[in-house]
Structure 1
Amino acid sequence: MKQKIKSMIQLSLRSFDIEIARYSSLKATARKARDMELLLSMPDDRAAEVLKNMRKSRSQIRQDLFVLSQLNFKKNGYFVEFGATNGVTLSNTYLLEKEFGWTGILAEPAICWHDDLKKNRNAKIETRCVWKDSSSTVNFNEIAEYSTINSYSDKDKHKERRKKGKIYEVKTISLNELLEKHEAPVDIDYLSIDTEGSEFEILNNFDFSKHSFKVITCEHNFTPMREKIFELLVKNGYVRKLEKISDFDDWYVRLDVASVSSGAS
């Protein structure tokens, strides 16, 4: 079966100009072959399902396919995504909604994305900025997919891009209130966080006793906050997965879910 999967991968990824030989050669070209590493990290049946959906994936580094693989390609699940942009380009939840019948919440404070987001998606949309509390007004720096709370504009490798951003005030909403407002289930399948720097503050002020997430993907961009997020999520019952593949993201699975989906570690 492994050889069959390998042949399927080779056929599917030929357009990427990636030549598959042995796994040792795959590891030598890991950056160019993330898709293959993801597939080869999984049991045959799971890899086959991921491969079948690979061309439909919209995520930047296959976060959507990772989530599906961890949840046995669940239908009609529930997601929460911050930093939704237009809901399609580099979206971690578009595939889940359109092909697997999921619903959920999309949060995006950048005004430039609001019209397209409403047009492109059927999920609930929140235009307030997800933050550590719901009582603040913050300066927001809008610059397409690099938009962020302005106090984080110079905290990562994209700081030069943000110097040309448009600054305006936005109201905030905490993750706790966001879930209550939109009547999210207690046990949520997937949380995607891409807020360009404020991820730790959001999670550190979240009450994990009221809601939980089976899978979390969280952008870190190799900032010092990465380890703080790691420590926080481990303390709350999560394990980090596929660290070498996830690059500027970290992928977490709740321990009870990870024990079931132990084929991808």
Structure 2
Amino acid sequence: MSACGEWWWWCARPGRLPRAAPLSILLATVLTLISLLFLLNAKALNRHSSPRQVLELEDHDLEGAPQHHPDLVTYIRQLHLVSPSLGPYNLHSPNTTDFSQNGQSRQIEEILKGKRGGLFVEAGAYNGEELSNTLYLERQLGWRGLLVEPDPWNFWALRKRGRRAHSIHACLSPYPFPREVTFKQSDTMGHIVNGGDDASRHGIFTRVKCFPLYSLLLALNTTRLDLLSLDVEGAELQVLRTVPWEAVRIEVICVEYRHVPEGKLALSSFLQERGYTLHSTLGDDYIFVRRDLERPSLGIL
């Protein structure tokens, strides 16, 4: 009897094998891809499982937690902060020196008298290269810090640049506690959808976690910054109001004022009341400096 046995008619059907072979290859390929995806996902879950077991918390358990809560700080540090790159930079314009739009980086360098090894937080970091207020300081002066970017596409591009700073896919919370918000993606103009916005309008929307600035600083084990670069498309003053200024020291604040709904005078007044002087205006950015920055008794951080 032939190898097909009682299924001789299957084997005998003309053209059956030529059609079946490509199908078998396709099925094998699909199964292989599924297996690879499963393995990658298992590795990711295994990498994050330990902190989650330690915290014994789900994401929603931290909604509304005080910004200084140790569980929140640990949650951010272990599950959300992405470590700096250890490889080479991967820039589209590697020969560019100052990537900021209107010379903000050089102005900050001048204000801080060429300080090396400074610490920054840049919120609204975009893709980590174009319009960056911190890349020059990082490459030329050895600064380190945190890049905050809520747009998932921009954050993916940022991660490809090989920055020597920590990064986080999140937004700065306009409240002194974490929360998840609806975020409208729009290249450099992405923003949190407020109550007055209609999320059904045309556009691309996503859900993003927002953490208070103070919580992020604690996750970085610091309460002192040389530079805060703040470009969050209208929430700048709200973010600054969440900061416990008695516990935080920031030498220079570069903040975009154009989209602040309270107005640029309200923004300026708020920071002046907290010990800052308006040093200069570059494009749509104000640069504020602590009044006591150049006092010899305090020095520069």
Q: Using structure 2 for the length normalisation, give the TM-score.
A: 0.61
Tell me the secondary structure at the aligned position of residue 160 of structure 2. helix
In structure 2, the CA distance between the partners of 1:69 and 1:235, relative to structure 1 (3 Å rule), is same
Q: Which residue does the alignment assign to 1:88?
A: 129
- 2:223 matched to 1:181? no
1:242 to 280, 285, 298: 280
CA positional deviation for 1:172: 1.1
- 2:257 matched to 1:216? no
C-alpha distance after superposition, 1:156-210 (max 9, x if no partner): xxxxxxx6531111111001101111223x3310000000000010001111111
Q: Which residue does the alignment assign to 1:256?
A: 292
- 2:105 matched to 1:64? yes
Aligned residues of 1:110 and 1:142 also touching (Cα < 8 A): yes
Aligned residues of 1:86 and 1:116 also touching (Cα < 8 A): yes
The number of equivalent residue pairs is: 195
In structure 2, the CA distance between the partners of 1:149 and 1:74, relative to structure 1 (3 Å rule), is same
Letter in 2 for 1:106: L
Q: Using structure 1 for the length normalisation, give the TM-score.
A: 0.69
2:233 to 196, 200, 216: 196
1:129 to 171, 185, 190: 171
- Distance in 2 (CA, whole Å) between partners of 1:257 and 1:107 is 26
Q: Which residue does the alignment assign to 1:18?
A: none
- Distance in 2 (CA, whole Å) between partners of 1:96 and 1:126 is 19
- Distance in 2 (CA, whole Å) between partners of 1:254 and 1:167 is 37
- Distance in 1 (CA, whole Å) between partners of 2:290 and 2:211 is 25
Q: Which residue does the alignment assign to 1:145?
A: 188
Runs in 1 of length 4+ with deviation above 6 angstroms? none
In structure 2, the CA distance between the partners of 1:166 and 1:256, relative to structure 1 (3 Å rule), is same
Q: What fraction of aligned residue pairs are identical, expressed as a percent?
A: 30
Q: RMSD value over aligned CA atoms? A: 1.9
Q: How does 1:162-173 map to 2 (within 5 A)?
A: 164-173=202-211
In structure 2, the CA distance between the partners of 1:225 and 1:58, relative to structure 1 (3 Å rule), is same
Letter in 2 for 1:166: I
Letter in 1 for 2:217: L
C-alpha distance after superposition, 1:24-56 (max 9, x if no partner): xxxxxxxxxxxxxxxxxxxxxxxxxxxxxxx61
Letter in 1 for 2:235: S
Aligned residues of 1:58 and 1:95 also touching (Cα < 8 A): yes
Aligned residues of 1:142 and 1:165 also touching (Cα < 8 A): yes
CA positional deviation for 1:112: 0.5
Unmatched tracts of structure 1, length 5 or more:
1-54, 155-162, 261-265
> Which of 1 and 2 has greater Rg?
2
